[in-house]
Structure 1
């Protein structure tokens, strides 16, 4: 089997043959990076689209600029996906402000919280690095949203300040493995989150639940068929670029 085909099989870019049935328990539907499939990621437009679809929550990526501003952005290098230049951690906000991603302005965490403070949704913040978790917590606390917050990260060091303050946390892994479920439980995270992968995700959800934790799955590429595949696995939390597809599928069950 060629590498291209195996990659498709592993990460679920092509749908499986589905059972035609969805679990009775409805997952929490979270808009990935706001709703990346409907508007540029990590922008106010993406958040607005997610809210209009009716999501239960939004997931956003947070990085810190050289002068301490909390920027919503996924990649470490601004050039990769915006009109700004340089490494986020080496660039002050004054040089980023006004930059765009696909026509939408790059924004800060406070900008997003202003939009979300009156919305009845949960908030998942993925911290892309360590060293600024306390700043994120203080910012969210200013908007009195800590009770709605789950801090998620690939590194437990980024979760430690949230753990100490009793804020919900989730450990992320790239693949749905039993080891990720064990690591999250051993650390004391409230949940474990991973990419969706056919044949593996269902067992991962069972492993995480067996540890008494929340099982989260998110999709890298969303079509109606693959969204349904992921929903059939029955995660507690489903993070998707196309929350509208998820709701369409759930309404048909």
Structure 2
């Protein structure tokens, strides 16, 4: 996926209040290589390791609860064929989503977004929040903005989506909220004046392209980097942020924040 900031939001990128590192380390789905993805244990591990921020995915239950889960259905995390949006919050809470990863995480449940925000509130982490397929969840933008505002997360959150009209809706609701466009197959807009930041599949990036973008005052982040040698190169180049399933591996390569 490619993450391209929408310059028209006029909102600054959320900056970690913990770290002054040259390159920010972002826990992908919390710490998806170390714990069940998008769960409180994954977020707790990421926070304890000292990441600068975490990325999560948001959908909605059949009865209107914003929940943190990546896939459209529950097969991979719970062995259940139902779609997330077909299940009530009570039905989702009945599912166990940790044992498939490791017996150590048996009993882990799908969290609500409100639970995640409360859980992370006293940390210094920033939040990257991806709205999954907003067309399936009418009005999810307004509900998400309302919850972020209520819990004091507007200045610490970057909302991202593949469905760009959804971002325009969010901007109308909260101009102060930082927004980003997701792309998965190309790198558009590298030379557009409104591009503030982009997050690219790391294999698409080279040093010349990185330097040309940063020379214009724009930020470049990469995903999902789990290979240590690849991370070494990217850190040496000076990318602005790296998303990883294994933050322990990458944090071992960077200076303390």
Q: Pick the TM interval, shorter chain.
A: 0.7 to 0.9
The residue correspondences of 1:164-179 to structure 2 (distance < 5 A) are 164=172, 165-166=174-175, 167-175=177-185, 177=187, 179=188
2:69 aligned residue (45, 53, 73)? 73
**TM superposition score normalised by structure 2:** 0.77
Q: CA RMSD in A?
A: 2.5
* Bigger Cα displacement from structure 2, 137-146 vs 41-50: 137-146
Shift of residue 110, structure 1, vs aligned partner: 0.8
Higher normalized helix content (fraction of residues): 1
Distance 1:73 1:236, change over 3 A: same
Task: Report the count of equivalent residues.
Answer: 223
Alpha-carbon distance change, 172 to 148 in structure 1, aligned in 2, over 3 angstroms: same
Q: Deviations over 1:160-185 (max 9, x none)?
A: 233222210122222462x2535xx5
- Deviation at residue 70 of structure 1 after TM alignment: 1.1
* Cα separation, 1, equivalents of 2:84 and 2:241: 29
Structure 1 equivalent of residue 4 of structure 2: none
Residue of structure 1 equivalent to 2:162: 154
Q: Which residue of 1 aligns with 2:249?
A: 245
Aligned equivalents of 2:60, 2:153: Cα separation in 1 = 20
Picking from 190, 193, 196, the partner of 2:199 is 193
Query: Which deviates more from structure 2 when the two are superposed, residues 38-47 or residues 61-70?
Result: 61-70
CA contact 1:28–1:236 (8 Å) conserved in 2 = yes
Give secondary structure in 1 for the equivalent of 2:82. Answer: coil
Instruction: Tell me: CA distance 1:116–1:242, structure 2 relative to 1, closer, same or farther (3 Å).
Output: same
Residues 159-216 of structure 1 show CA distances to partners (whole Å, capped at 9, x for unaligned) of: 1233222210122222462x2535xx57x56532222115x35455345435643322
- Of 51, 55, 61, 2:47 maps to 51
Bigger CA drift: 100-109 or 202-211? 202-211
Alignment of 1:77-116 (within 5 A): 77-103=73-99, 104-116=108-120
Q: Shift in Å at residue 89 of structure 1? A: 2.1
Residue of structure 2 aligned with 1:62, choices 51, 58, 61: 58
